[in-house]
Structure 1
């Protein structure tokens, strides 16, 4: 996931075995259970696909790490709890009366990891940079920043922009001007020697594993977890095996019998949070260069109705997922915002094959002797991109393929490395792709809509979209997003009218075909480290690939008993 929607990644089995050997070596010196320094190394598995490529650019869709750990935002906003932002590089912020000016006070005495002083000029440089390079501007930032003095920044907008606040403050990672000003193409630069203000520095780096080491000069004090070791394995099963052998301390992903983690993995616990929304992404717009039958809304809706979501949940996700709305307001946390104007508030859990086939026939498709529909001599055959080793997603796609046959649709899984999958997603070189839509810095659904459904965050096929990978563009949605940005978050009725517009439009067009709301489950080594988020204390999103939440967790952890 783009962070994405950052989901479980995997790599070929042979390389995974090599990584296990490397991991075992690392654990013997700094990562296993026991006493001393080795208890201060946290070993994590994000699901990495293929060898790591040294890229710590926090604005790159293919970065390994860095956002939150090496590079910091001004504040931290908790996506799962509605609470005040936590100060990081910033200490205070405020809006003027009409929401056109955002003033930020910065923390004094912060140093970059190379010893240079952090100042307001770095913040202004970062904001100006993403304004210049659209592919870096995943938040749609349109302000103008100026340094009032070394510790104060003023950001002005041409119109009220309340909703930009959490994005600018919590989702833009500040980089050092004195380093980055030398980059000719910062959007494409693979940062191999990152200089940041965060709690961690880059340690050793190899293709199969790399280490972040605690920053002794961190403004908030050196973290108790002295090292974080990122390792690559051969997929979800390899992650479960490493967990069973106590070779990793934290992973986010499925394991066998997920309901009994504490019994099956002594010393470990698990936490599940419904936060991301699993969907079939479609390259939806032929005018943007997309090719294939998925550019027809009738095909997308037919797929939507042909799914047996109960079966998918059972076979692929061990029953941890839940219902999803076709308007993509997160049901668990924003149920009151699900539009009453939707044709269906929730996606059906059982298939409606007759409705699916009726939609296809009304769109001019006819069923062939093999039971598969065709139009203009072309069979209704679609390819779904999925990352090798993502066993839950692979099972979900294989299950859907069998289900869609009953509606006359041929679905084929195309597995590849995460790097290839991510490149195809960003460039629009796919028909269908399974991934998740993620929320923004706060629970407000505005951010999901502005990320994935705005014309501002997409691009033609062959150019990098970030993160509107579906190439979706609708002027009514764009107008509603513009209005939401202007309306105070407290004006609930005014905001709901705009949500109604967005939700009904995306239900009609369906550029992302809803599957289920994912129950994101993490397994963590509770007997080795303490301070983990729990369902009773969700101080951060407990997913190892969720940035900058992972950094908040690393900072909160300490070796058990210390």
Structure 2
């Protein structure tokens, strides 16, 4: 491949589209990188984090792997920092400026000229072009299905052209494509290599790994200066209860998850504060599409609709989520920030708070179900009973399923939980080997419902049962929705009327088919050590999503924090 280091130009097709779904840290492996962290890194400038990881880490610092353990934003950087919790201007990272042409078919980016990789090699436009070519050459990495060309104009400028208007791709191309070094990755299989010794441009390097913990340490040659938080220690614990115990003992500085009496964290855990953000929409995911190989009663839309109306969401919020959850729209437009996008044709703009037993009976009876002597509906002699997959140690979700089980039994539907490790749970969802699973549908690259719809409802992001679906694990597929997404992709965001017409189409299908059964908008609560570090996001200054497992937002927070010396 020709290189700018030999003054030649090159063009590649843009296949960048790494969908932003809420990224969970899980697994890790051997030591690598440089730094002075070490296995015993501790002290006033060390932040100890618990991401919810239970069991041993298995090393994987490949930013394109679905089982990566971290590195997005900390080790590897994108061109800009883009978050979905605000609509602020993008924060320059490897890029300093960008501009679209008038019709959205060309995106020009200026790069920094003072950046080196953590192994000392210089960064330039070659690495950016190489990264997009890598994604193009490996379709499994191209979850967004983008179509364009990248030109390395010179060492600090790239130009991206598209065959049609592509404004909507901006957040993903600029903020969710993580640039890798050509001089190392030209010998790596990006679909299989775990990259045990990662090299990046970011503020941290991998300095130590053990199966129960790994440490990132400050990159002394970072282009923006080494961060004040010198070390980040990621621990593996046994679940939410262990996380709460560690918080009480003061042995962790940041976690995202439930703790007892979550409304009074500052009183119960001296020195700590909490913040709750309504960002991720909780749902019962269903393997919904029989045509793609899904099996079980959940493939019947009537069953999914019956479950939707059988839930007592007020009770769920009180018993499982300590009142931190909030209302949700069955359209999956995030409330309240995206309520302007909800179709006027949708009868119910928010999910019901209380069950409607009569409606459940009407729905199931019309679908051919009859209630047996045991009080459970059955069809052709087969009881209506389903299994929900959940990760061991996720106490809030486990409590939610137990509560749902009682609620559904009361209306004649059987529901049981199946607990497994995060890896097994992820594998079942990805390959479609499940009936129901409890999870959240995260927002996409920016605060706009297009990204969630494109991630979770596009046929391009699913696969037959047995094959791994990149994002759309419900196996939902609707040509009308696919067509609407295609129109949205090429529509100027300023043309709100044209965009709303497509949102109307998508939302009608989403509400009617309900492959993801809406529960509530999860109040994502993080507890953090405010006595040890300052600079945390607040509701008045929400510069990044403050969840420890949310990358690259967590990296933006690591860089902003200042140790107090306590």
How does the TM-score come out when normalised to structure 2? 0.92
Please point out which of 296, 302, 305 is paired with 1:301: 305
Aligned to 1:145: 150
Q: Determine whether 1:173 maps to 2:178.
A: yes
Query: What does 1:225-236 align with in structure 2 at a 5 Å threshold?
Result: 225-236=229-240
CA distance in 2, matches of 1:135, 1:399: 38
Deviations 1:271-292, CA, capped at 9 Å, x for gaps: 1111110111111111112111
Matches within 5 A, 1:206-355: 206-355=210-359
Residue 430 of structure 2 is aligned to residue 413 of structure 1: no
User: Could you say what the CA RMSD is over the residues aligned between the two structures, in angstroms?
Assistant: 1.8
Partner SS state of residue 275, structure 2 = strand
Instruction: Give the ranges of 4+ consecutive aligned residues of structure 1 lying more than 6 Å apart after TM superposition.
Output: none
| Distance (Å, rounded) in 1 between the aligned partners of 2:215 and 2:305 | 45
Tell me the distance in 1 between the aligned counterparts of 2:303 and 2:229. 50
Contact in 1 for aligned 2:26/2:67 (Cα 8 Å): no
Do the aligned partners of residues 135 and 28 (structure 1) sit closer, same or farther apart at CA in structure 2, a change above 3 Å counting? closer
Report deviation, 1:28: 11
- Alignment partner of 1:39 is 2:44: yes
Task: Answer yes or no: is the 8 Å Cα contact 2:25–2:51 preserved in 1.
Answer: yes
Contact 1:71/1:174 (8 A) holds in 2: yes
Partner residue in 1 for 2:22: 5
Q: 2:133 aligned to 128, 132, 136, which one?
A: 128
1:87 aligns with 2:104: no
Contact 2:371 2:412 in 1 (8 A): yes
Give SS of 2:145's match: coil
Q: Can you list the C-alpha shifts for 1:523-551, whole angstroms capped at 9, x where unaligned? A: 00000011111111111101001110000
Task: Check 1:335–1:52 CA distance in 2 against 1; reply closer, same or farther (3 A cut).
Answer: same
Range with bigger deviation, 397-406 or 364-373: 364-373
| Equivalent residue for 1:98, pick from 81, 87, 103 | 103
Task: Give the unaligned 5+ runs of structure 1.
Answer: 11-25, 32-37
Give the C-alpha shift of residue 3 in structure 1. 7.4
List per-residue Cα deviations over 1:446-481 (Å, max 9, x = no partner).
111111111121112222212111111111111111
SS in 1 for 2:52: coil
Indicate the SS of the match to 1:48: strand
C-alpha deviations, 1:64-123, integer Å up to 9, x for none? 101111111110113111111000011111111211111111111211111222122221
Cα displacement string for residues 133-189 of structure 1 (whole angstroms, at most 9, x for unaligned residues): 3332233322222212221112122211110011110111111122222223x1232
**d(CA) in 2 for partners of 1:135, 1:59:** 9
Aligned to 1:18: none
Asked if the contact 2:388–2:415 (Cα under 8 Å) also holds between the matched residues in 1, the reply is yes
What is the SS of the residue equivalent to 1:46? strand
Structure 2 distance, partners of 1:116, 1:461, is: 44
What is the Cα deviation at residue 375 of structure 1?
Answer: 2.0
**For 1:95 and 1:28, how far apart are their aligned partners in 2?**
46
SS in 2 for 1:360: helix
Question: How big is the shift at 1:561?
Answer: 5.5
Paired with 2:372 and 2:25, the residues of 1 have a C-alpha distance of 38
Cross-structure match for 1:15: none
Residue 340 (structure 1) shift:
1.5
Residue 403 (1) aligns with residue 407 (2): yes
User: Do residues 487 (structure 1) and 491 (structure 2) align?
Assistant: yes
Name the structure 1 match of 2:33: none
* 2:131/2:182 contact within 8 Å kept: yes
**SS of match in other structure, 1:135:** helix
| Cα distance in 1, alignment partners of residues 25 and 60 from structure 2 | 18
Deviations 1:257-305 (A, max 9, x none): 1111110000001111111101111111111121111111111111111
The match for 1:362 is: 366
After superposition, what is the alpha-carbon deviation per residue over 1:196-242, rounded to whole angstroms, capped at 9, x for unaligned? 11111111111111101111111111011110000011111111110
Deviates more, 1:373-382 or 1:352-361: 373-382
Q: Are the equivalent residues in 2 in contact too, given 1:384–1:432 (CA < 8 A)?
A: yes
- 1:545 is paired with a residue whose SS is coil
Q: CA shift at 1:29, angstroms?
A: 5.2
Task: Look up the match of 1:67.
Answer: 72
Alpha-carbon distance in structure 2 between the residues aligned to 1:248 and 1:478: 44
Contact 2:20 2:443 in 1 (8 A): no
Paired with 2:128 and 2:49, the residues of 1 have a C-alpha distance of 31
Question: Relative to 1, partners in 2 of residues 1:253 and 1:6: Cα closer, same or farther, differing over 3 Å?
Answer: farther
SS at match of 1:145: strand
Q: Residues 130 and 353 from structure 1, CA distance in 2 versus in 1: closer, same or farther, beyond 3 angstroms?
A: farther
Answer yes or no: is the 8 Å Cα contact 1:30–1:40 preserved in 2: no
Task: Indicate conservation of the 8 Å contact 1:372/1:409, yes or no.
Answer: yes
Q: Which moved more, 1:249-258 or 1:436-445?
A: 436-445
Q: Give 3-state SS (helix, strand or coil) of 2:174's partner.
A: helix
Partner of 2:30: none
Q: CA deviation at 1:27?
A: 12
Alpha-carbon separation, structure 1, partners of 2:123 and 2:375: 65
The 1-side partners of 2:163 and 2:443 are apart by 26
